[in-house]
Amino acid sequence: MMGIIMTPRSRQTLTAISVGLLTTGMMTCWGFPSASLPQMELPDSEIHFTSEEASWFATVPFLMLIPGSLIGSSAYEWLGARRTLLFLSPILCCSIMSMSLASWSVVQSTGVTETLLLASRVVQGSIAAFLIPFATVYVYEISDQHLRGTFTSMVEIFATGGFVLCYLAGGLLSWETAAILLPLITLVPSFIGLFFSLESPLWLARKGREEEASEVLSLVRCTKEEAASDLKTALRDTEAEAPKCSESLKLLTKKSNALAVLMSSSILIMKELSGFSVLSIYIVHIFQAAGVGFDPTWSSVIVGVTRLICNVLGSFMLHNFRRRMIFIFGNILTTLSTSAIATFFYFQSQSVDVSRFVWLPLAALVVHMIGYAAGVGPCSWTAAVEVLPGPVRSIGTGIYSTSYAITAFIISKTYPNIRDAIGLHGVFWLFSGGCVGYIIMAIFFLPETKGKSLQDIEDYWENKTRKRNTRVHV
């Protein structure tokens, strides 16, 4: 029945929205500390984290990303995206909801409350780490080349929704209620949508299931020519790929593949050096330190809603503008905003009266989110997938996810120590430097991927390798 009433675009849209809601649920794992830690640190709280335990509570999902993303990318080729998402999303849902048990008096009487919360966070991080490599690649492979950028960037929009929901929950709900409600409104509808979605046709082709792949492509591509072209590329990649991990790693010794994976990883590493993870987790604390003239929690909501709106703008820009231009535009805004915040905290640290400028951190973070959400964020995740040739897309996804995870964990975990050592102004000057570095990379090294077919991307890296010495850019 679904195959009769649904058009190719509606099937692609169903998958993109379902994966998007799953991403929203996954991102609540990252954003939950922003809602819960301020409440847990209140004097009458029943949760008694040490400063080190609170730091682990906030950042352990990033740590679990490191092994999980590599395993997840390997599992993508073994199990397929849809099957794995359907299996693991209920486990993620239960692990988030289990945190509410820490508010029960019977659990508190056992003295294992903090241990339960940290254990729940480890499970959440492990499952989310396993799922993250599937999300963007699944949407990428199910979509046609005309909507690939739009739908892939939608994953970032839904990811932002997860943070916004956490910021709202911090202002409206107790943390234990949020732990129950957030997965119910994200992961449950995602599971239903995925149940009616189709498996990645390119994955089916790579597994030698050509007939099934052709059937799915006929349902999710608007023309027979598009279906035939993508099937041909996938089958050719299948011939180049070997099922063994050792053979997959051998593909990385080819210079064109190695350059593509290096660029893919660099995109996400530079994204994290702009300070996004720190701002997402510690935004309430940053506003408290700034002494803004507005409630810190609701200031976070304003920034989060701004990011959500601008993610939609970013999706539009990805559909209509060149990737490199979007990168440069977004990073100019984030550079200006982090520099402004660094200046504010510098004068505050020098005991200069900044009472007339208490609005500056909020305004600057809104500008930062405009630059990040409309440019840097969605374009980073989209380009990180787009630059990968088919033969190394799966292993490349694992490598860039792991590179992202290591960078995000190190920056987030060490943030309190770096802040104490060089001050908040020093931290934001470092973020400004990261933004400048990203601009340089976008101008001189990032290939343009807008409107490129799967074959075009592979041809680019082949030509790049052959003409490397003469610096000819395709």
- Is the pLDDT at 471 greater than 50? The verdict is no
Secondary structure letter of residue 357 according to DSSP:
G
- Among 41-45, 227-231, 310-314, which range has the highest average pLDDT? 41-45
Cβ partners under 8 Å of residue 200, min gap 6: 80, 81, 82, 137, 138, 141, 142, 216
3-state secondary structure labels for all residues of 18-87: HHHHHHHHHHHHHHHHHHHHHHHCCCCCCCCCCHHHHHHHHHHHHHHHHHHHHHHHHHHHHHCHHHHHHH
| Alpha-carbon Rg for the chain in angstroms | 22
* HSE-up (13 A, CA, CB side) for residue 165: 26
Q: What is the pLDDT of residue 4?
A: 47
CA 154 – CA 376 distance, rounded (Å): 14
Q: Nearest CA to 139 among 190, 210, 69?
A: 190
Q: What is the pLDDT of residue 45?
A: 86
Q: What is the pLDDT of residue 1?
A: 40
Secondary structure letter of residue 446 according to DSSP:
P
Q: What is the pLDDT of residue 21?
A: 93
Residue with tokens 């509808």, as numbered in its chain: 189
Residue 356, class by beta-carbon neighbours within 10 Å (0-12 exposed, 13-18 middle, 19+ buried)? exposed
What is the mean pLDDT of the segment spanning 43-69?
82
Task: Tell me what the pLDDT averaged over the chain comes to.
Answer: 81
- Is the pLDDT at 58 greater than 60? The verdict is yes
Question: Per mean pLDDT, which range of 87-91, 269-273, 309-313 is the poorest?
Answer: 309-313
3-state secondary structure labels for all residues of 103-136: HCHHHHCCCCHHHHHHHHHHHHHHHHHHHHHHHH
Give the Cα-Cα-Cα angle 325, 326, 328 (nearest 5 degrees): 65
- Is the pLDDT at 242 greater than 50? The verdict is no
Domains of the chain: 1-199 (1.20.1250.20), 254-474 (1.20.1250.20)
Q: What is the pLDDT of residue 431?
A: 93
- Tell me what percent of the residues of the chain surpass a pLDDT of 70: 84
Question: Per mean pLDDT, which range of 80-84, 207-211, 360-364, 455-459 is the poorest?
Answer: 455-459
Q: For 69-81, what is each residue's pLDDT tens digit?
A: 666 666 666 777 8
